[in-house]
Chains A and B, each alone.
Chain A
Amino acid sequence: MTTSTVTAPVSAETPGKTAAPDPDRARLRRRIAQWGFVAPAVVFMLLFFGYPLVRNVVMSFQHYTPKTFFTGEAPFNGTDNWSAVFQDALFGKALWHTLVFTAGSLLGQFCIGLALAVFFNRRFPLGGVLRSLILLPWLVPMVVSGIVWRRILDQDTGVLNTFLDALGLGGHTPWLTSPDMALLSVILVNIWIGIPFNMVILYGGLQEIPKELYEAASLDGASAWRTFRSVTLPMLKPVITVVLVLGFMSTVKILDLILALTDGGPADATQTLGTLTYQNSFVELDFGAGAVVGNVLIIVSAVFAVFYLRANRTEGK
C-alpha cells in the first residue's frame, strides 16, 4: 500500500535530474506521473471494493460456518449454497418484495420530489424556510425514523389510526400487522424518507435551466403543462438519471428501515434481499447462503448499472 503510492510520483521526478530532452522518456515520465495520480484511487478501490467483492463471491461457494472462524477452513462445496438458496421459497418472495419495494419507493419519491421541486422553484415568501423544513426527514437517522413510524402506524394506539378515526375514516387499518398491507406501509415510509433527497437534487437541476427558455415558451403561447413537458423535463433529464440511479442504489439494498419497522414480518411479508442476507449470515450464521443472496443483490445492481452506463453513452452522443 505505502510503497505503491509513494514510489510512483517519486520515480516520475528523479529522472528529471539527467535533464536529457528525450521525447520517449518525457512521455514515459508523463505516463508514470499519470499513473501515480491514479494509483491511490486504484489501490483504494481494490482494497475496499475489489477484495470484499471477490471474497463474497468466493464465500458463496464455500461451506462457511462458525467453525471457519477458528480453523480458517472453509471447504468448497460447489453450488450447494446457490441451489439451497434458490430452492428456498423465501428467496423468491424476498426478490419480488425487493423489486416492488424499489419500484414503488422510487416512483413515489421521484414524483412527489419533482412536484415539490417545481413548486419551490418559484419565489414566494417563506419559500426558503419551508424548503429547509422539508429536509428534516433526511436528517433523522433511518433507525430513528423506523422506530417512530412503527409507533405512528400501530393499529390500536398509533397516531395515524387515531387521527383517521377522529376524521371518521375508519381508523382500524392494519398498517404493519397485515401481511397484505405491511409492504405498502414500508414503501410509504421509505417514500417519506426519500422525498427530501429527490427534491434537493431536482431543485438544483431546475435552477440550472436558463430562464430564456421559459420566456421563449411563454412568447410562443405554450401552456404550463406544455412548458413543463417540452422545456423542464428534457432539460432536467441528466439530473433525473442521476437521482434515479442514486435512489435505486440506496433503495435496493434496504435493511435498516425494515428491521426497525417490521423485522421482515409479519409472516415474511416484508422480507427483502437485504433482510434475507442479514438473516442468513447473522441469525443463522450460514455465511455461505448469506453471501449467495448478497451476490444476487450485486448482480441486480450490476445489470442496472449497465443500463445506466448505456443510457449515459447515448446521452453523450
Chain B
Amino acid sequence: MTAHPPVAAPRTRGRSRRAVTSFAAVSVLISSAALAGCAQQRDDDVYTVMNSSTDETYHRWDAEAMARCGKRLGVTVEQQSVPASQVMTKALRMASSKSLPDIVQFDASEMPTFAEAGGLVDLRTLGLGTEDVPEGIVDFGSYEGTYYGAARSVNTLALFYNKDILDEAGVKVPTTWEELRQAAKKLTRGKRYGLALSAGGAEDGVFQFTPFMWSNGGDETDLDSPEVVEALDYWKALLQDGSLSKSTVNWTQADVNDQFMAGNAAMMINGPWQVETLNTKKSLHWEIAQIPVPERGADSVGPLGGAVLTVPDTGDTEREKTAGRIVACLASEEEQLTYALNSWMVPANEKTAAEWRERVPELDALADQVAAARSRTAKLGAGWSGVSLALQSAFQSALTGQSSEAALKRAQQRATSGN
C-alpha cells in the first residue's frame, strides 16, 4: 500500500508496423534521455536542502540564509519544503530511489530513526567542530554517540501568562505545582480558564506532558512509576478543579495559543514558535516564566525541541563534504543569531545564546528553561515513537475518567510489547 510504481511511459497506438517501430525508437530515445537526465540531475553547483519550512516566514528566512551561505561557498543552495509530518516518509522514499537531497533538516526526535537506518553521515568526519556547542546540544544532535545533526536553534516549553489578568486578580506568577493550581483556580472566571495546555492525541500532547513528568523525577522508560502517575494525577486535578477546559484532550498547541490570545485562558504552556503570532495582537500583554515544579527548589526540566541539519549518506563523498560546509555555515554563530532573532528560538551555540539574551530580554526565562531541558530521544532513540503513542493514549484515558495508574500501567505494557 505504500509502494508507488513508476509512472508508465506514454501509451502509443500505432497504425502500421513502421509507425510502431518509429514510435518504439522515439520512446527508447526519450526514456534513455530521461534516464540520463536522472543520473545527471545533481547539478554540480546546485545543492538541495529539504526542510519543513512551509510557513511563508520560515521559508523566507531559510531561503535568505541559504542564499548567503551559497554565495560564501560559491554554490547554489535550493530549498525544498514539505509538511513536517512528511519529512521522514519522504526522505525514506527518496533513499530507496537513491535521490536523497544533500541536506535534510529533521525534527530532532525523528533524526535517530533515520540515523539508525544508516542514512546519515557523521558530521565530525565532514569537519564540523563541536567545541563551542554545549554538551546538551551535541547530545541533542547525536545518536549513539555519533554527531549527526547540527542544531541552529532549540526551543522548549514555558509558562506564558497574561500580565493584565494576573495583575487584576492580584495573582503572583506561580513557581510550584501547588501555586500553579491555586493561581489557575483563582484565575478561572466565567468563560475564562486559568490555564490552557495541549493534551491532544499527537506528539504535541506528549511534548507538553514531559515537563510535568520529568520535573517530578519520572522517566519515559518506566511509565507506570509513581512519579509519572503523580504527574498525570496533577493534570487530572487541574481538570477536576475546572481550571483546564475539558477540550484540552482535543487541542493542539496551536489551539492552545488561540485560546490564550482570545482571552479564554489566563496562562498557557507553550513554546517560542507562538511568539510571532502572539505579537500580532497588540492589546495582549504576555510574559513568560519557567514551568512550575513539584516542590520549591526542584529543577524545571522541559523537553528540548527543534530541528537539526543532517547530511544524508548519498555515497558521493565530494558532495557530502560541500554539504557539510553548507551545514557549518547555516549553523554558524552569525546565522544562528539571525535565525534566532527572526524565529524567537534560542540559539544552540553558548556564546550566541548569551548575545541573544541581551537582545531579547523578555524571553530570558526561556533561555534558562532550555539550559536545563532534556531531549526526548536521548534514552530511547528510535523507540521514542512507540512510547509516545502509548503515553498519548494513557493521558487521554486518564483525563477522560480512568485512573492514572491503570492507564499508565497499560501504556507501559503497550510500550514494552513493541506495539
Which residues of A does B touch, CB under 8 Å? 1-3, 5-7, 9-10, 13-14, 40, 47-48, 51-52, 55-56, 59, 65-72, 84-85, 87-90, 150, 154-157, 174, 176-179, 262-268, 277, 279, 281-285, 287, 289-291, 294
Q: Are A155 and B247 in contact (CB under 8 A)?
A: yes
List of B residues within 8 angstroms of A84 by Cβ: 417-419
Q: Are A2 and B1 in contact (CB under 8 A)?
A: no
Range of interface residues on B (Cβ < 8 Å): 35 or more
Q: Are B11 and A2 in contact (CB under 8 A)?
A: yes
User: Please, could you name 22 A-B residue pairs with CB atoms under 8 Å apart, sorted by A?
Assistant: A1-B11, A2-B24, A6-B20, A14-B17, A65-B117, A69-B117, A69-B119, A70-B117, A70-B118, A87-B419, A155-B245, A155-B247, A157-B191, A157-B264, A174-B246, A177-B249, A178-B400, A179-B401, A266-B396, A266-B397, A267-B249, A285-B92
Q: Decide: A284 near B201, CB < 8 A? Known: A1-B8, A2-B24, A266-B400.
A: no
B282 in the interface (beta carbon within 8 A): no
The complex places the Cα of A314 from the Cα of B382 at a distance, in Å, of: 54
In the complex, which of the residues B17, B27, B249, B419 contacts A266, with contact meaning CB atoms closer than 8 Å? B249
The complex places the Cα of A283 from the Cα of B86 at a distance, in Å, of: 10
In the complex, which of the residues A51, A87, A177, A279 contacts B247, with contact meaning CB atoms closer than 8 Å? A177
Q: Decide: A66 near B245, CB < 8 A? Known: A47-B8, A287-B2.
A: no
Interface contacts beyond A66-B114, A69-B95: sample of 8 additional A-B pairs, CB < 8 Å, sorted by A: A2-B27, A5-B13, A6-B23, A10-B15, A90-B419, A178-B246, A266-B201, A267-B402
B217 in the interface (beta carbon within 8 A): no
Q: Are A88 and B419 in contact (CB under 8 A)?
A: yes
Q: Are A150 and B250 in contact (CB under 8 A)?
A: yes
Q: Decide: A176 near B250, CB < 8 A? Known: A6-B12, A70-B117, A70-B119.
A: yes
B419 nearest CB neighbor, chain A only: A88
List of A residues within 8 angstroms of B23 by Cβ: 2, 6
B116 in the interface (beta carbon within 8 A): yes
Q: Which of B3, B201, B386, B392 has most A Cβ within 10 Å?
A: B201
B89 in the interface (beta carbon within 8 A): yes
List of B residues within 8 angstroms of A48 by Cβ: 5
A154 nearest CB neighbor, chain B only: B247
Q: Are B117 and A66 in contact (CB under 8 A)?
A: yes
Q: Are B250 and A265 in contact (CB under 8 A)?
A: yes
The complex places the Cα of A275 from the Cα of B117 at a distance, in Å, of: 25
Q: Are A281 and B247 in contact (CB under 8 A)?
A: no
Q: Are A52 and B1 in contact (CB under 8 A)?
A: yes
The complex places the Cα of A47 from the Cα of B118 at a distance, in Å, of: 31
Measured CB to CB, the closest approach of chain B to A92, in angstroms, equals: 13
